[in-house]
Structures are given as C-alpha cells and as structure tokens.
C-alpha cells in the first residue's frame, strides 16, 4: 500500500505516480496562488485507486489534474475555492467515481471530467460555486464513454453558466444525466448515444436559458425533461430510434420556443407547456411507427403558435390548447389509424386552426375557438369512422370541413354570430365518397353564407342561420 499526503505553498507543483498495488491513495493540499497538482495512477485488475486534490483558503489560479487508468475501482476528488482555478479529471477504467467542487469563493473556474472508452460503471459529479450566487463564470463539461451504468451530474447555482454532458457507447447502460443551473446566462446540453433505459434532465430557473437534450438510443425507455422558468427560453429534445420515449418541456415566461422530435416513437409521449410571452411549440413524431404516441401542447397566453405532426401512426392522440392571444395551431396525422385530434384556443384573439388527418380510420377532429378573428379547417381524407366539429363562438368566423372518401360521416359547424361563412363537403364531388352522411351548419346571425355538399348514401343536411346577410346552398347528389 502507498499513502502520500502533502501540503504545498503557492507556486508549488506536484507529480504523483502510483504504480500497481492493491490500494493506491494520493492526497494533495495546496493553499496559495498558481499552484499545480498532478496525480497519475495506473493500476492493475484489483487496484483501488484514490486521489484527492484540495486547493482552498486563499487559493487562486490553481490547476488540478487527476489521471486514473486500470481495471480496479477508481475514485477522484478535486475541491477548489478561489479565482480562475482549473480542475481536470480523466478516468479510464472500472467503477470510476469523479467529483469536482469549486466552492463559495470560486470565480471563473473551469471543470472537466472525462471517463473514457474502457470505463465501466462510471459516475461523475461537478459542482461549481455551490451556493455562491450570481457573478461566477461557470463552465462545466462531463464526457463519459462507458460500457455500463453511467451517471453524470452538473450543478452550478448562478453565474455565466454553461454545462455539457455527453454519454456514449453504453449499450447495456442505465445512463442518467442531470444538469441544474439556477440563474444567469444558462446554456446546457445533454447528449446520450447508443444507450438504453436512459434519463436526462435540465433545470435552469431564469435568465438567458437555452436547453437541448438528444438521445439516440438503440433500446427503449428513454425519458427527457427540460424545465426553464423565465426569460429568453429555448428548449429542444430529440429522441431517435427508440421506444417508450417520454419527453417534456416546460418554460414559464418570456422568449419561449419548444421543439420535441421523436423518430420511431412507439409509445412515445411528448408534452410542451409554455405559460406566457412569445410562445412557439413544435412536436414531430416522424418517419417510422408512431404507435400509441401521444402529443400535447398547452401555451396559456401571448404570441402563441403550435404544431403537432404525427406520421405513419397507429392509435395516435394529439391535442393543442392555447388559451388566448395571437393563436395559431396545426395538427397533421398522416397514415394514422385510431386518431383523434383536438384544438382549443379559448377566449379569443387572432385565432387560426387547422386539422388534417390523411389516410385515417377511426377519425375524429374537433376545433373550438371562442371569439375574435377565427378561421378553422378540418380535412380527413380517406377516412372511415369520421366525425368533425367546428365551433367558433362569434367574431369574424370562417370554417370548413371536408371529409373525402367517407364511411360513417357526420360534420357539424356552429358559429354563433358575426362574419360567418361555413362549408361542409363530405364525399367531395365526383370521388363519390361518403356513406352514413349527416351535416349541420348553425350560424345565428350576422353576414352568413353556408354550403353543404354530400355525395352518396345516407345524406341528411340542415342549415340554420337566423338573421342578417343569409345565403345557403345544399346539394346532395
């Protein structure tokens, strides 16, 4: 066994090399300026390498480097307090645990942990300016390239934060990555590659947030969370080649954007929730099977826009709810099966909404807008059990339902006053679709026009306009 413990003054540099043994331990303590501590440990199969570097109490411009290689257990810890410190830990072996803490007095510190290609069961933690508050120039990087059970944590609590975590080549892994930043110029990115049963989370709580999680997994069970709470938010989650995905973006105010994209999203679940200011949100669940995939967007005020696309799906569900301000919403569900789609943009302003469900089966589509400059469209092209409904609750309405080659058709439009126009087509002309047809338009006053056109089978039609500019046409073929 080798055990070394040293205390060094400013400008000191130490190189510690520990040869193979059953339990190598190295400990370095430095107080002062411009110190460098370097620990290299290379061990055999049964080694338990342990290295600790402490640079505190008036330290500044200190550097700490720990390198550990071998097949035994590895434990590395760097504890720094002071200005412009640099901490780097490299581990390339089994069961590595690495911790870097740059504490209360740290300013403009840099911390990097790398756990390399031969790592198994790696765990990494970086903690900068913990509790120090605003004004520290945080940066932190973790890179893990392990065959099994990666975990990574970055915590920064204030300052000009940046954080990056990358986990790769961990085929059997239960990889986990957490980033927490709590304020100031935040940027955070987590990427997990060739993993299984992965999880990732970013929480940023205020300032110039960004986010970004990317999981490119060969196995299933992914989850990803971003929560940002305030200011120039932006968040992206991207999950590819996986099943049982779960994604969530929550951003509480100012510049919001969102974006979730899941490819091969069998049983994927995606949700964006944005409460306030310049919202935009997009969910795509694309290209391959999106079986039982679910997508929801809720935006609750200001610049809203929202898009959901689900492609080549089966039993998909999609929903958008925006609750006022400059709304726009779109849902497309392309080669679907048991699809249902719903848009609600409650209590006003410049609404537009559109639903299109292409080669359908058990279709249903509902749009509700409740006042102001409404516009709404539903198309359900090669459908089966279709039903479509538009209700707009007054103001400058225009609506259209178009349900092509039909079967159990029904379509209802109700507009309740103001600039109305409405059109329902159900077999759409000479394509000779439609079957159980029924159609109803009710407009209750103002500048009404209405059209119903149905081709083939059960046909029933009704128009009720009650006052003002009326015009109506029913053709049933």
Given this model, what pLDDT does residue 3 score?
33
Closest CA to 247 of 206, 287, 217: 217
| 130 pLDDT above the threshold of 60 | no
**Parallel, antiparallel, or unpaired: how do β-strands 461-464 and 294-298 relate?**
unpaired
Interatomic CA distance for residues 260 and 272, integer angstroms: 8
Q: Is the pLDDT of residue 134 over 70?
A: no
pTM value is 0.86
In this structure, are residues 383 and 403 in contact, taking their beta carbons and an 8 Å threshold? yes
Residue 286: what pLDDT? Answer: 74
Q: Quick check: 474 pLDDT over 90?
A: yes
Average pLDDT for residues 110-136, to the nearest whole number? 66
Rounded to whole angstroms, the Cα distance separating 347 from 325 reads 9
* DSSP H helix total and E strand total for the chain: 0, 42
- The predicted pLDDT at position 201 comes to 95
- What is the phi/psi pair of residue 415, to 5°? -120, -20
Q: What's the confidence (pLDDT) of residue 32?
A: 65
Q: Partners of 155 in the beta sheet? A: 127, 180
Give bridge partners of residue 72 from the DSSP assignment. none
**Top-confidence residue, 81 or 21:** 81
How far is residue 218 from each of residues 149, 163, 169, 193, 283, measured CA to CA in Å?
A: 15, 25, 10, 8, 21
Out of 12-16, 91-95, 321-325, 350-354, pick the least confident: 12-16
159: tokens are 């300052």
Mean pLDDT for the stretch of residues 98-125: 69
Percent of the chain predicted with pLDDT > 90: 40
Mean pLDDT of 353-371: 91
Tell me which range, 74-83, 304-313, 321-330, is most confidently predicted by mean pLDDT.
321-330
Nearest to 457 by CA among 427, 432, 436, 428: 436
- Residue located via tokens 């898009």: 307
Higher pLDDT, 451 or 145: 451
Give the residue, 46 or 418, on which the prediction is more confident. 418
State pLDDT tens for residues 395-406.
999 999 999 888
Instruction: Please say if the pLDDT value at position 5 is more than 50.
Output: no
Q: Give me the pLDDT at residue 19, please.
A: 41
- Average confidence (pLDDT) over 429-452: 91
Tell me the β-bridge partners of 313: 290
Residue-averaged pLDDT of the chain: 81
Q: Token pair of 350, please?
A: 């410049």
pLDDT at 390 > cutoff 70 = yes
Distance of alpha carbon 237 from alpha carbon 222, whole angstroms = 11
Mean pLDDT calculated for residue range 121-150: 69
Digit-coded pLDDT (tens) for 262-288: 887 667 789 999 999 999 999 998 766
Question: What residues contact 70, with CB distance under 8 A and at least 6 apart?
Answer: 20, 41, 42, 43, 44, 45, 47, 49, 93, 94
Give dist(CA 220, CA 175) in Å, integer: 12
User: Rounded to whole angstroms, how far apart are CA atoms 235 and 254?
Assistant: 13
Q: How confident is the model at residue 233 (pLDDT cuts 50, 70, 90)?
A: very high
Look up residue 431 and give its DSSP letter. Answer: G
Please give the pLDDT value at position 1: 33
DSSP string, 93-117: EBTEEEEEEE-TT-BS-EEEEEEEE
Q: Widest CA span of the chain, in angstroms? A: 97
In this predicted structure, the answer to whether residue 12 has a pLDDT above a threshold of 50 is no
- Lowest mean pLDDT across 41-55, 86-100, 175-189, 428-442: 41-55
Look at the block and give the residue holding tokens 């990732």. 200
Cα 237 to Cα 20, 245, 259, 289, distances in angstroms: 44, 11, 6, 19
Q: What residues have CB less than 8 Å from 432, skipping those under 6 apart?
A: 455, 456
Report the range of poorest mean pLDDT among 180-184, 236-240, 318-322, 442-446.
180-184
What is the predicted pLDDT for the residue at 4?
Answer: 33
Q: CA–CA distance from 233 to each of 47, 187, 191, 476 (Å)?
A: 46, 10, 19, 52
């Amino acid at each position: 066994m080798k055990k070394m413990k040293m205390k060094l003054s400013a400008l000191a540099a130490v190189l510690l090399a520990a040869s193979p043994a059953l339990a190598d331990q190295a400990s370095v303590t430095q107080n002062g300026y411009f110190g460098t501590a370097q620990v290299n440990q290379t061990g055999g199969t049964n080694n338990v390498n342990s290295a600790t570097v402490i640079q505190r109490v008036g330290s500044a411009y200190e550097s700490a480097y720990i390198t550990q290689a071998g097949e035994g257990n590895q434990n590395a810890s760097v504890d720094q307090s002071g200005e412009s410190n640099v901490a780097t830990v490299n581990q390339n072996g089994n069961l590595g645990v690495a911790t870097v803490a740059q504490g209360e007095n740290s300013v403009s510190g840099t911390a990097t942990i790398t756990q390399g290609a031969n790592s198994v069961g790696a765990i990494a933690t970086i903690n900068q300016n913990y509790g120090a508050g605003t004004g520290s120039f945080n940066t932190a990087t973790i890179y893990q390239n392990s065959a099994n059970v990666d975990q990574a944590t970055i915590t920064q609590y204030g300052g000009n934060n940046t954080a990056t975590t990358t986990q790769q080549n961990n085929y059997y892994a239960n990889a986990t990555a957490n980033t927490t930043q709590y304020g100031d110029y935040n940027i955070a990115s987590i990427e997990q590659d060739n993993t299984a049963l992965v999880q990732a989370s970013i929480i940023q709580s205020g300032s110039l947030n960004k986010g970004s999680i990317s999981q490119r997994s060969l196995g299933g069970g992914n989850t990803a969370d971003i929560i940002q709470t305030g200011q120039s938010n932006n968040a992206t989650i991207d999950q590819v080649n996986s099943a049982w995905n779960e994604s969530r973006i929550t951003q509480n105010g100012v510049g919001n954007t969102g974006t979730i994209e899941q490819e091969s999203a069998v049983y994927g679940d995606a949700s964006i929730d944005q409460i306030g200011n310049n919202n935009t949100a997009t969910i795509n669940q694309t290209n391959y099977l999106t079986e039982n995939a679910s997508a929801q967007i809720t935006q609750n005020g200001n610049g809203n826009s929202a898009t959901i696309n689900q492609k080549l799906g089966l039993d998909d569900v999609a929903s958008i709810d925006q609750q006022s301000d400059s709304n726009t919403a779109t849902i497309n569900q392309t080669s679907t099966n048991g699809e249902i789609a719903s848009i609600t943009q409650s209590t006003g302003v410049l609404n537009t909404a559109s639903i299109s469900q292409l080669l359908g089966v058990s279709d249903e589509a509902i749009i509700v807008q409740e006042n102001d400059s409404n516009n709404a469209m539903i198309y359900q092209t090669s459908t089966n059990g279709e039903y479509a409904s538009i209700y707009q609750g007054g103001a400058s309405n225009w609506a259209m339902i178009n349900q092509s080659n039909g079967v159990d058709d029904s379509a209802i439009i109700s507009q309740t006053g103001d600039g109305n126009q409405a059109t329902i087509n159900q077999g759409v002309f000479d394509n000779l679709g439609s079957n159980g047809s029924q159609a109803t338009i009710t407009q209750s006053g103002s500048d009404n026009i209405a059209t119903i056109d149905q081709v083939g089978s059960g046909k029933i039609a009704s128009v009720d306009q009650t006052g003002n500019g009326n015009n109506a046409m029913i053709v049933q073929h």
